[in-house]
C-alpha cells in the first residue's frame, strides 16, 4: 500500500509529463505535468486516442520509425512536436517505453516527456545573438561572411555579386561630441535607411562601429551596385532626427564585384574596404569602385611598409626644418621639425606617404623618439650659437598613448640640454578628442615641464571651444587649407579672421601655415597674425641650410617679401599633392 501511494505521489508531482496508453494508443492515464504541458484535463483525454496530440510537423516515415522502434526495442526516444488543446505546437523531448505482460507481450505504452519550448527559444536567441548585431538587429560580420561564401558558391556563370563597404563619415566625432546614446540612435536610424535602399534578399550587415557591409546577390551588372549606393547617398540627404534635433550624416563606400575583383570572400571584403578608403580620400560622401590601380597602390603601400621596417635600423630618416618667421621682428623665431625618408641618396619620400604606415605598424613610436631627440640636439646647437629659436616637433596619437611618453620627452630634453621653453610639441585636434582624459593629464604635465603646446592643422578637426579654454595650449596653427585661397575666397577670409581673433581673445599665439604669396602675407599682417610659416620664406630645409638662414640679416625678409615666392623648393615641388 505504502509503495503504491509513493508511486502515485511521484506520478502526480514529477515535472515530467507522463501519458499511459494501451497498445492501440487509447489514453488511460495522464499526470498533472502532462495536463499542464498539453492543456487538457483528464476527463477530456482519458479514453481518447493519443492521436489527438498529433501535430502536422512530422511525416509518415517519422511515425513509422517511432512505431517500429517501439515494437522492436520497446523504446523510442526523440524530439516530437505535439499539439496542445488550444492548437499551439510544442516541441517535446520524449521517451516512449513499452510495458510487457508475463507472455512478453506489450500491453501498455508510457510516454514520459518534457517541454522544450523554452530551451528552443533560448537557443534561438543565442543563435540570433551570435549572428546578429545587438544594436541594429542586422546580421553581423560572421553571418555576412557565411552568406557571402554561400552566395559565391551559387553565383551563376553570367551573373555577378557585389560587396559594398559603407562607412558613416566622421562618426567618431558624432559620438564624441553628442555622446554614445545619440550616436546609437543615429546608427539605428541609419541602418533602417540603408536596409530600405536594397532588395529584400540582399544582406545588410553591421561590422561594428559605423561600418556597414552589404551583399547584393545575383546582379546582372555593376550598375546595380552603383545605383544602390546612389539611393543610399540620396536617402541620407534627409536629416536624421533624434530627440527633436536634426542631424546630417553622409556615407563613404567602396564596391567590389565578384568575379571581376575577386572570387574569395576575404579578397572581396578587403578590396571593398580599400575602395572605401579611396572614397574617404576623395573627400567623403561618395563611393568608389575597386580598381587594379588601387590594388597597385595597395602593393606600393605594402612594399613601403616592408622597407620601412628596415629604414630605422639603416638610419634612412632625415629631419628637415621649416622656419617660423615673426614678421614684426623680421627674424626666424622657431622651426618645425619635419621628417623625410631617404631610402637612397637623392630620393625623398614625403611624410604623408609613410607616417600613416609607421602609425599603423607602431614604428612611429621609435621613429618619433628619434625625431624628437634629433630635433632637441639640433635646437641646442642653434641655441649655443646664440639663436633663440624654438623647435617644434609633431606628435602622432600613437606616441602620445605610449606609457613611456613623458619619460621619453624628459629624457630627450635632459640628454640634449635643450631648455624646455624652446621645445614645442604639435598635437592635432583629433589627438585631443580621441584621448580626452589622457590628453588633459599629459598636456598639463608637459606644460609643467615648461614645454609649449601647439594645435596643428587647426580648423580641420572638431575641437570644441571649451577645450581650448581648458587645455594648456599655447599656439594655434591655422591649417594651410584655409590660407591657400586667401584673400580671394570670402569664406576663408572670414574663417581665418575669426580664428586669429579667437586666438587673440584666448591669449594664444597664432601661426599661419603654408603662406606662399605676398598677398597672403599682407592679409595676415592686416589681421594681426605675425607668425608665418610657409614657402614664401622657406620650405623645410636640412639643418645646415637653416643655420645659414639664421645668419641672414633682417633685410633678407624684406627682400623675400618683395620677391614674392622666390625660394627654390627642391623636394616639395615634386611632392605628390595628396
Ligand atoms: P604639418 O605638421 O601640418 O606640417 C606642415 C606641412 O606643410 C609640411 O609638409 C610642410 O612642408 C608643408 N608646408 C609648409 N609650408 C608650405 C607652403 O607654403 N605650401 C605648401 N604647399 N606646403 C607647405 P610635410 O613636411 O610634407 O609634412 C606633412 C605632414 O606630415 C605634417 O603636416 C605632419 O602632420 C606630418 N609629419 C611630418 N613630420 C612628422 C614627424 O616628424 N612626426 C609626425 N608624427 N608627423 C610628421
Ligand atoms: Mg606640424
Ligand atoms: Mg599643419
Give the tens place of pLDDT for each residue, 206-249.
998 899 999 999 998 888 999 999 999 999 999 999 988 888 99
Task: Report how far apart the first and last C-alpha atoms of the chain are (Å, whole number).
Answer: 95
Atom 10 of ligand 1, residue of closest alpha carbon: 540
Which grid cell sits at 47? 479514453
Q: Is 355 in the pocket of ligand 1 (CB under 6 A)?
A: yes
Q: Is 270 in the pocket of ligand 1 (CB under 6 A)?
A: no
Question: Residue 464's pLDDT is what?
Answer: 67
Under the phi-then-psi rule, with left for phi > 0, alpha for psi from -120 to 50, and beta for the rest, what region is 228? alpha
Phi, psi of 15 (to 5 degrees): -80, -15
Q: How many residues does the structure list for the chain?
A: 578
Q: Which ligand is nearest to the CA of 460?
A: 3
Closest CA to 533 of 365, 338, 387: 338
Closest CA to 82 of 73, 91, 71: 91
Peptide bond into 184 cis (omega under 30): no
Closest CA to 28 of 111, 87, 93, 86: 111
Q: Give whole-number Cα distances, 562 to 234, 458, 569, in Å.
A: 50, 28, 18
Atom 8 of ligand 1, residue of closest alpha carbon: 338
Q: Which ligand is nearest to the CA of 375?
A: 1
Q: How much is the pTM? A: 0.61
Question: Residue 193's pLDDT is what?
Answer: 96
Question: Residue 329's pLDDT is what?
Answer: 87
Task: Using the atom order of ligand 1, give the atom closest to the CA of residue 393.
Answer: 41
Q: Is 516 in the pocket of ligand 1 (CB under 6 A)?
A: yes
Q: Which positions ≥6 away from 222 have C-beta within 8 Å?
A: 160, 162, 255, 257, 260, 289
β-bridge partners, 92 = 80, 115
Q: Are 198 and 226 in contact (CB under 8 A)?
A: no
Q: How far apart are CA 189 and CA 19, in angstroms?
A: 52
Q: Give whole-number Cα distances, 374 to 378, 392, 407, 542, 549, in Å.
A: 6, 12, 16, 12, 19
pLDDT tens digit sequence for 124-171: 999 888 999 999 999 999 999 999 999 999 888 889 999 999 999 989
- DSSP secondary structure code for residue 388 in this structure: -
Question: Residue 155's pLDDT is what?
Answer: 86
Q: Is 335 in the pocket of ligand 1 (CB under 6 A)?
A: no
Q: Is 520 in the pocket of ligand 1 (CB under 6 A)?
A: no
Which grid cell sits at 373? 631627440
Question: Residue 577's pLDDT is what?
Answer: 35
β-bridge partners, 97 = 75, 110
Q: Is 352 in the pocket of ligand 1 (CB under 6 A)?
A: yes
Q: How far is the CA of 394 from the centre of ligand 2 (A)?
A: 5
Q: Are 165 and 273 in contact (CB under 8 A)?
A: yes
Q: How far is the CA of 67 from the centre of ligand 1 (A)?
A: 82
Task: Using the atom order of ligand 1, give the atom closest to the CA of residue 572.
Answer: 11
Radius of gyration over every alpha carbon of the chain, rounded to an integer in angstroms = 37
Q: Is 457 in the pocket of ligand 1 (CB under 6 A)?
A: yes
∠ CA 517-565-553 to the nearest 5 degrees?
Answer: 105
Question: Residue 45's pLDDT is what?
Answer: 95
Task: Tell me which residues of the chain have a pLDDT lower than 50.
Answer: 566-578
Number of neighbouring beta carbons within 10 Å of residue 384? 9
The residue to mutate among 317, 323, 354, 355, having the most atoms of ligand 1 within 8 angstroms of its beta carbon, is 355
Q: How far apart are CA 257 and CA 30, in angstroms?
A: 62
Q: Could you tell me where the DSSP H helices lie in 179-328?
A: 180-196, 222-235, 265-281, 292-311
Q: How far is the CA of 426 from the centre of ligand 2 (A)?
A: 6
Question: Residue 567's pLDDT is what?
Answer: 46
Amino acid at each position: 500500500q505504502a509503495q503504491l501511494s509513493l508511486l502515485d505521489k511521484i506520478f502526480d508531482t514529477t515535472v515530467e509529463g507522463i501519458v499511459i496508453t494501451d497498445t492501440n494508443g487509447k489514453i488511460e492515464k495522464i499526470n498533472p505535468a502532462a495536463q499542464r504541458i498539453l492543456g487538457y484535463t483528464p476527463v477530456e483525454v482519458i479514453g481518447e486516442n493519443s492521436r489527438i496530440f498529433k501535430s502536422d510537423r512530422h511525416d509518415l516515415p517519422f511515425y513509422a520509425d517511432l512505431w517500429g522502434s517501439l515494437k522492436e526495442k520497446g523504446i523510442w526516444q526523440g524530439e516530437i512536436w505535439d499539439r496542445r488543446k488550444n492548437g499551439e505546437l510544442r516541441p517535446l523531448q520524449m521517451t516512449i517505453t513499452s510495458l510487457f505482460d508475463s507472455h512478453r507481450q506489450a500491453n501498455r505504452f508510457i510516454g514520459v516527456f518534457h517541454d522544450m519550448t523554452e530551451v528552443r527559444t533560448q537557443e534561438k536567441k543565442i543563435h540570433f545573438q551570435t549572428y546578429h548585431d545587438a544594436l541594429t538587429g542586422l546580421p553581423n560580420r560572421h553571418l555576412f561572411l557565411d552568406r557571402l561564401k554561400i552566395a559565391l558558391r551559387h553565383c551563376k556563370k553570367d551573373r555577378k555579386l557585389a560587396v559594398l563597404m559603407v562607412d558613416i563619415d566622421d562618426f567618431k566625432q558624432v559620438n564624441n561630441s553628442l555622446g554614445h546614446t545619440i550616436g546609437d540612435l543615429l546608427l539605428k536610424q541609419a541602418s533602417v535607411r540603408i536596409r530600405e535602399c536594397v532588395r529584400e534578399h540582399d544582406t545588410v550587415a553591421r561590422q561594428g562601429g559605423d561600418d556597414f557591409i552589404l551583399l547584393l546577390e545575383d546582379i546582372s551588372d555593376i550598375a546595380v551596385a552603383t545605383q544602390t549606393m546612389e539611393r543610399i547617398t540620396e536617402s541620407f540627404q534627409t536629416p536624421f532626427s533624434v530627440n527633436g534635433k536634426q542631424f546630417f550624416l553622409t556615407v563613404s563606400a567602396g564596391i567590389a564585384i565578384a568575379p571581376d575583383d575577386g572570387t574569395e570572400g576575404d579578397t572581396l571584403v578587403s578590396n571593398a574596404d580599400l575602395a572605401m578608403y579611396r572614397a574617404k580620400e576623395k573627400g567623403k560622401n561618395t563611393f568608389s569602385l575597386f580598381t587594379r590601380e588601387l590594388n597597385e597602390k595597395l602593393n606600393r603601400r605594402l612594399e613601403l611598409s616592408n622597407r620601412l621596417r628596415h629604414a630605422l635600423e639603416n638610419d634612412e630618416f632625415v629631419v628637415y626644418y621649416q622656419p617660423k618667421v615673426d614678421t614684426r621682428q623680421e627674424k626666424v623665431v622657431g622651426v618645425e621639425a619635419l621628417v623625410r625618408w631617404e631610402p637612397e641618396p637623392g630620393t625623398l619620400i614625403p611624410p604623408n606617404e609613410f607616417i600613416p604606415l609607421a602609425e599603423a605598424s607602431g614604428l612611429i613610436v621609435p621613429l618619433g623618439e628619434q625625431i624628437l631627440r634629433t630635433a632637441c640636439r639640433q635646437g641646442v646647437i642653434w641655441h649655443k650659437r646664440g639663436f633663440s629659436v624654438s623647435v617644434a616637433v609633431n606628435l602622432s596619437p600613437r606616441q602620445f598613448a605610449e606609457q613611456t611618453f613623458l619619460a621619453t620627452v624628459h629624457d630627450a630634453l635632459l640628454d640634449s640640454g635643450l631648455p624646455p621653453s624652446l621645445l614645442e610639441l604639435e598635437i592635432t585636434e583629433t589627438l585631443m578628442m580621441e584621448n580626452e582624459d589622457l590628453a588633459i593629464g599629459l598636456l598639463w604635465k608637459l606644460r609643467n615641464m615648461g614645454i609649449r603646446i601647439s594645435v596643428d592643422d587647426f580648423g580641420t578637426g572638431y575641437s570644441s571651444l571649451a577645450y581650448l579654454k581648458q587645455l594648456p595650449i599655447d599656439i594655434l596653427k591655422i591649417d594651410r587649407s584655409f590660407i591657400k585661397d586667401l584673400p580671394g575666397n570670402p569664406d576663408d577670409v572670414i574663417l581665418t579672421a575669426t580664428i586669429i581673433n579667437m586666438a587673440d581673445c584666448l591669449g594664444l599665439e597664432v601661426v599661419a601655415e603654408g603662406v606662399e604669396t605676398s598677398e597672403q602675407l599682407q592679409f595676415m599682417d592686416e589681421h594681426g597674425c605675425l607668425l608665418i610659416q610657409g614657402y614664401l620664406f622657406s620650405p623645410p630645409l636640412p639643418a645646415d641650410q637653416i643655420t645659414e638662414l639664421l645668419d641672414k640679416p633682417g633685410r633678407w625678409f624684406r627682400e623675400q617679401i618683395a620677391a614674392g615666392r622666390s625660394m627654390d623648393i627642391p623636394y616639395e615641388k615634386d611632392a605628390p599633392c595628396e
